[in-house]
A = this chain, B = another copy of it.
Amino acid sequence: MATTFSYDHLYQFTYSIFQKMGCSDTDATLATKVLLSADVRGIDSHGVARLSGYVRLWEAGRINATPNIKIVHETPSTAVIDGDAGLGLVVAPFAMQVAIDKAKNVGTGWVSVKNSNHFGIAGYHAMMALQQDMIGMAMTNASALVAPTFSVERMLGTNPIAVAIPANEEPAFVADMATTTAANGKLEILQRKDAEAPLGWVQDVDGNDSTDANILKKQGALLPLGSDREHGSHKGYALGSIVDIFSAVLSGASYGPWAPPFPAYVPMPENMPGQGLGHFFGAMRVDAFRPADEFKAHMDNWIKRFRNAKPAEGHEKVLIPGDPEREMEAVRMTEGIPVVDPVVNDLTELGKKWNLEL
Interface positions of A (Cβ within 8 A of B): 73, 75-78, 80, 105-108, 110, 112, 135, 147-153, 155, 163, 165, 173, 175, 177-182, 198, 200-201, 203, 206-207, 225-227, 230-232, 234-239, 241-242, 244-246, 249-252, 255-257, 273-274, 284-286, 288-290, 295, 298-299, 301-302, 305-306, 309-313, 315, 317-319, 321
A302→B78 contact, CB < 8 A = no
B305→A75 contact, CB < 8 A = no
B309→A151 contact, CB < 8 A = yes
- Nearest residue (CB) in B for A80 is B289
Which listed residue (B106, B246, B310) contacts A106, Cβ 8 A? B106
Which of the listed residues A110, A288, A298 has the most CB atoms from chain B within 10 Å of its own CB? A288
B148→A284 contact, CB < 8 A = no
A149→B289 contact, CB < 8 A = no
Which listed residue (B155, B284, B288) contacts A309, Cβ 8 A? B155
B73→A181 contact, CB < 8 A = no
A185 to chain B, nearest CB (A): 14
CB-CB < 8 A to A306: which residues of B? Answer: 148, 155, 241, 256
CB-CB < 8 A to A135: which residues of B? Answer: 246
B251→A73 contact, CB < 8 A = no
CB-CB < 8 A to A255: which residues of B? Answer: 298, 302
A–B Cβ pairs within 8 angstroms, 22 of them: A75-B107, A76-B105, A106-B106, A110-B288, A112-B289, A152-B310, A155-B305, A155-B306, A165-B245, A173-B241, A175-B235, A180-B232, A181-B226, A181-B231, A181-B232, A200-B231, A225-B225, A225-B235, A227-B227, A245-B302, A250-B286, A252-B290
- Nearest residue (CB) in B for A227 is B231
Which of the listed residues A179, A285, A313, A321 has the most CB atoms from chain B within 10 Å of its own CB? A321
